[in-house]
Chain A
Amino acid sequence: MEYIWAGLLAIGFVAGILSGRLEEVTKAAFDSAGRAVELSIGLLGIICLWSGLMKIMEKSGVINIIARMARPFLRILFPQLIGNDRAMGAIVMNLAANFMGLGNAATPLGIKAMQELQKVNTRKDTASDAMCMFLVLNTSAIQLIPATVIAIRSDAGSAAPAEITSCIWAASLCASIAGITAVNVFRRLGKVGQREIPGQGDRSLVPPGGTRDLSPCPGKLYHQPGRRVRGRPLSYGNGNAEKKKTG
């Protein structure tokens, strides 16, 4: 992030000097900063609303039910999160909101998911593999009805504004597959030279194929709040269960 940010700014200003558009560039810098504040303020209300609703879902246990339903699908993509119902539930809610095109609801739910992933992240300033997978899925996710695009097309007098829907599905699917593959390749590449911190048990370092079978009983034990799992140090999932018990 350091290099990307510095690179964008440096290239921008240098190119602005070279092309003599310095005035526009400076104006763009201030305008964008202002727009960022507007965006954040715009997000404030909906994020508070959905954070509040998510809290109710957490306390009523609905999140656990949703997470359990989605587990067969999500455990392939997020082997690290088996048993972490809050994270899985939030991920499912975010992907579902994205799928339905409910942009306003998707962002707060996605942030919630990130916060849950951060709780089980061993290095707090560095993205975990689960976070990378979640965000790549999120940015390449399929939308059921691309309403905005259809609206633009129909506005421009298209004979069949919605005809591109299936093309969008197909292209999104290609993107998701490419994204998941890329994450898995990078994850394996990143493993080289990386050492597991003893006791922390970063399960993301285990090759994806072998991970699922490692847990003694993947489905049953972990998702029950308050139940201790024998023979394993504090790790993903359990940490949450304990927190829930005390909190």
Chain B
Amino acid sequence: MRVVDPVLQELRESLLRMGSLAEAILEKALTAVWKRDAVAAGEVKGDDLEIDRLDVAIDEAVLRILATQAPVADDLRSVIAAKMIATDLERVGDLARNIAKGAVRLAEHPEVAIPPRLRSLGDEVQRVLHRALDSFADGDAVVAEAVLEQDDQVDADQDVVIRAAIEEITGRPDLVSQGVDFILIAKNLERVADHATNIAEDVILATQARNVKHAAKLES
């Protein structure tokens, strides 16, 4: 076993833990929205701190590995990808916090039925994030590619939810606050999906040495 192997393994485990945490607080925030649970929503902020701490730890670990081990080839790509994935996961944590804030506001206002499309968007995004994290855990570029393909669908579904919410608001001006919160939650969910996409792109770079970022934009 090489000197660098345990260090790389530790980095990987930190990332996996960060990924689980991100999924967990996204779940908690969304559940708080669906169940109007202001208490649970309040806990999310504290949970996010743990993610932030992991982000800083991973920063340090990456610097140390680059300086002392001078990794090349696969190892180098894995280490760079790890840093990028950590950044994306940290952003997911922040977005979950935003969703939780939305949950608190919804709980404080008169109850409105959760639009079913919003709910299914939430489930969809959670699934996308989960698959992206799976592709990282398994080093599976095929699954990562599938994640990339789902992004367009998520964007489309988010558009539908927002338009429906806008229609509701124009019809019922007394429900503006809830409507706006639904829109914001939808937007945050869409950005979570973007970050999941980034994670999938990083996995492809690490495993296949192919950089597919901004592919659509660059090609046109």
The judgment on whether A and B are partners is: no
Q: Give A residues with C-beta under 8 Å from B.
A: none
